[in-house]
């Protein structure tokens, strides 16, 4: 399969083994894991960073095997999450950084192209989230209002 904005071929990547059971060496219980996830979220970590912290510091290979659902779905049921999904907010903040750069460096044509590609990804992702009903049907990406959503 080709890359999104280039003619290069994509590279294969490793995926975690498809396991249905929690490994025997993982000794954290479901209740302990829920408390840790809520505490890490209260400290301001995003769901992806919570998963990395669980892997690196707590020895949890896959939180989904223990919880029975993903970290994002667990947090949606327990605490209030932001309206904008995590991957979309990262892309929007990237576009905002490029816009700030282009204000002071208006002749930087390479970053102008990077802004076009990034905002194309944002619009594509917004369309996906609207179709899957994770965003309201009338939600649109506007660079002027994106900064208020991100901060």
What is the band of 122 on the pLDDT scale with cuts at 50, 70, 90?
very high
pLDDT in tens, 9-63: 877 777 766 778 888 888 899 999 999 999 999 998 989 999 999 999 999 988 9
Q: pTM of the predicted model, to two decimals? A: 0.76
CATH number among 1.10.287.10, 3.40.50.720, 3.30.2320.80, 1.10.10.10, domain 86-150: 1.10.287.10
For CA atoms 37, 41, 43, 47, the dihedral sign is positive
Domain ranges of the chain: 30-78, 86-150
Sign of the C-alpha dihedral, residues 13, 18, 22, 23? negative
> For all residues of the chain together, what is the average pLDDT?
89
First to last CA, the chain: 35
Residue with tokens 């460096």: 105
DSSP for residue 10: P
Q: How far apart are CA 95 and CA 113, in angstroms?
A: 11
Let me know: does 64 contact 50? Beta carbons within 8 Å.
no
């Amino acid at each position: 399969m080709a890359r999104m904005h280039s003619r290069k071929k994509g590279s294969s990547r490793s995926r975690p083994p498809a396991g249905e059971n929690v490994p025997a060496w993982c000794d954290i219980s479901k209740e302990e894991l829920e408390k840790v996830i809520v505490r890490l979220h209260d400290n301001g970590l995003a769901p992806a960073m919570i998963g990395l912290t669980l892997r690196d510091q707590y020895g949890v290979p896959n939180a989904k095997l223990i919880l029975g659902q993903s970290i994002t779905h667990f947090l949606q049921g327990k605490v209030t999450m932001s309206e904008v999904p995590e991957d979309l907010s990262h892309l929007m903040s990237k576009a905002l950084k490029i816009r700030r750069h282009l204000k002071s460096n208006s002749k930087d044509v390479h970053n102008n192209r990077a802004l076009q590609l990034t905002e194309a990804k944002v619009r594509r992702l917004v369309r996906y989230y609207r179709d899957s009903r994770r965003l309201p049907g009338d939600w649109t990406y506007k660079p002027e209002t994106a900064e208020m959503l991100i901060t």
